[in-house]
Every structure is written in structure tokens, then in C-alpha cells.
Structure 1
Amino acid sequence: MSKSASRARLADIIRARSFGRGEITLASGRKSDFYFNLKPTMLDPEGAALLAELTFEALREDNVDYIGGLEMGAVPLAGAIAQLSWLKNHPIAAFFVRKKPKEHGARLSVEGLSKTETLQGKRVVIVEDVTTTGGSAIKAAESVREAGGVIVLVLTMVDREEGATEAFAAAGLPFRSLYKASEFLKS
């Protein structure tokens, strides 16, 4: 399937499985009359494969060592991308950032690394399913920076176009998205 065909097919899946209209309160606390819940798309076999494929292709030239983001939205994305990257002989390891470190065990905020791994000096992409204001991705980026990682990009699947671009610019974080909310709102 061509990139444009994959992108169109994924948009259809998102529209059918993950986009809706109706009053909702977003993670940012804002109210909205439309929503994206990408989990049904991320956990659908075809949706997961297409998200991984398009994300991997979007990152091909970025020389990325790790991909991850804040739990829960980043976990299925990072895992699918890591698996595909291995199959494509261009491995990108995955991790996730806890919203709050566990109060027992290793008490880590960045999870998924072995005892011998570190993000120190590694090129990292923060990935997110849906971005509104950018707060969740910025929180993940702060944890990665504290762990020594170098953030090369924040990549979201859907940008709601409600302030994230400006927030990431203010935080010095490059930002891209696979889709914009306006692409779904006009259909």
C-alpha cells in the first residue's frame, strides 16, 4: 500500500473507531464538542500496523534511538513502532514515562529500560496519541531530559490544534503530527 493509501486508510479507521462528537472534558480540563480516543485504533490490528508504519516512516531520517511518552497513550504506540523498527532492521527501542513513579520497587519514572540501559545522550522522540495543549508530552519530555535524553521531536498522531504547537515552541521542542483535528472535523 502506498503512503497516501495507508494514510487515507488510517484516517478512515480513526474516523470509525476513535473520533466522535458530543460534550466531553479533555485531559487538559477543557470542554469540547468533539473527541478522539485513539485507543480503539491503537489496539486494532490494522490500526496499530498503520500507525506504526506511518510513524516509522515519519521518523526514518531522524536517527532516533528511543521512542516513548507518557502512559497510557504512548504505550501501545511505542511498542508497535519498536516492533516494526526491528522488522525493518532499523531498531528503535521503546520506553514509557509514568505519570507518577511507583511508591515501591525501583520507583522509576521512565520504564522499559534494562538495568544496563540509559537514556543519557540518546536521541529520543516523545510520541503521543492525541495532543491538545501539549502538557502530557511536555511532562514526558521533562522526565526524559532528567534522565539525560535528548528530545529530537514530539510526534503526535492527532493534533487537536488547541495550543500544543505554541507550547512546544515555548519549551524548545520540535513538534509534528500525522493528522490535524481539522482533517476530521471537515468531513
Structure 2
Amino acid sequence: MTQSMTQSATPSSRPLAETRTRLQEIIRGRSFGRGEITLASGRKSDFYFNLKPTMLDAEGAALLAELTLDALAGEKIDYVGGLEMGAVPLAGAIAQLSFMRGTPIQAFFVRKKPKDHGAKLSVEGLAPGESLKGKRVVIVEDVTTTGGSAIKAVDAVRDSGAEIVMVLTMVDRQEGAADTFREAGLDFRSLYKAAEFL
């Protein structure tokens, strides 16, 4: 059995620090790169994070969910969700692991714009008659730069009557998001900072 297979066999049996180190290795190998790019905010950067290859990797998805649930321990969360596309695989993995741990947290996602047909929903994933009203919600995001995308999700979820407990990102690029959320009166946390990869 390879070392990678051994490491991924029982992720929750590892100490938290080892889990965090292993996930950082996966992000570095699958989702971090150098080279000039234009970010969603319009800013230019000489490094990037594309978390999709990590979120859709079997071990990466499991470890992201594990570290997220550990970060949310004691918060009494009803739902996790965020803006499509980045939050979709993340929210699904978190929901699945929460159920397996016996503390289920439901998941949803927010469309960038409501569908122009069918139910025309902006918040997706809820069953008929299910509502976010009065529920404690964490907005999750894969990579956060200025916080603009997460604020869109916050606004849609607040319009649904939910209480936003916090915004939690996997990687904070450290380019203004903390200030954005502080000004909005929102608790903001991250699993990793960009500086840890530079």
C-alpha cells in the first residue's frame, strides 16, 4: 500500500495538526499555482488557488469537511452553503461527514442569479416546504479575496430569514475580505491564509 493510500485510509484517526498539514500538501499540489492571473475581483495576481481539484479529490474532500466541522464545533449550525460553484462540493462533503458523525448539518447553495424557469429559486437544495427562516447558517467559500462573492450569498440567505453565524473560507487570500466582513458585522474565519503557501 502506498504512503498516500495509507494516509487517506483513516483521516479522522490523525491528530488535527497532521490532518491540516496533509490537506495543505494536497492544496499545494493540486490547487496552488504561480503565474499572472486576473481574479474575480478584477485584481491582478502572480499566484492563484483553484480549489476545485482539491474539493473533488477523494482525500481532499474528506479532509476539507473534517477540518471545517472541527472549526464549527460547538456552534450549533443548522445549514452550510454558499455561492455556486465553489461552495457546492464543499457544502455537500460537509453535510455528508456531519451525518456520518451523528450531528447532521444540512447543505444548500445560492445561485449567482435565479433560474429564469421552473421555481426560479436563488437558494437551492431545500425540499418543498423547507425553509432557512430562523436557522443558524454558515456561509462557506473555497477561496476568498475581497469577500464580494460571499456577501452576495449572505444577502440571499438573510433574505430567506436565516441567521448568519459566520463566513468560513478554506483559503483567505488576505486581500481585504477580513475588512469587508468586519464592516458588515460578520464573523470571518479561514482554514488557511495565502501566506502559508507563499
- TM-score normalised by the shorter chain: which range applies? over 0.9
Give the aligned partner of residue 12 of structure 1: 25
**Deviation of residue 116 (structure 1)?**
1.6
Bigger radius of gyration: 2
Give the aligned partner of residue 125 of structure 1: 138
Segments ≥4 residues shifted beyond 4 Å: none
1:147-166 equivalence runs, <5 A: 147-166=160-179
Structure 2 residues not aligned, in runs of 5+: 1-13
Letter in 2 for 1:11: Q
2:191 equivalent to 1:178? yes
Query: Which of residues 79, 93, 98 in structure 1 aligns to 2:92?
Result: 79
Deviations 1:29-52 (A, max 9, x none): 111000000000000000000000
Q: TM-score, normalised by structure 2?
A: 0.93
Q: Distance in 1 between matches of 2:53 and 2:184?
A: 30
Give the aligned partner of residue 111 of structure 1: 124
2:182 equivalent to 1:169? yes
Alignment RMSD: 0.4
2:26 equivalent to 1:31? no
Letter in 1 for 2:82: G
**Deviation of residue 61 (structure 1)?**
1.1
Deviations 1:118-151 (A, max 9, x none): 0001000000000000000000000000000100
Deviations 1:45-100 (A, max 9, x none): 00000000000111111110000000000000000000000000000000000000
2:34 equivalent to 1:21? yes
Provide the aligned length of Structure 1 versus Structure 2: 185
**Deviation of residue 172 (structure 1)?**
1.2
Q: Distance in 2 between matches of 1:30 and 1:107?
A: 32
Q: Distance in 1 between matches of 2:19 and 2:139?
A: 22
Query: Which of residues 91, 94, 112 in structure 2 aligns to 1:99?
Result: 112
Query: Which of residues 64, 69, 72 in structure 2 aligns to 1:59?
Result: 72
Structure 1 residues not aligned, in runs of 5+: none
Q: Distance in 1 between matches of 2:105 and 2:154?
A: 17
Q: TM-score, normalised by structure 1?
A: 0.98
**Deviation of residue 27 (structure 1)?**
0.7
Match of 1:41, SS state, is helix
Match of 1:151, SS state, is strand
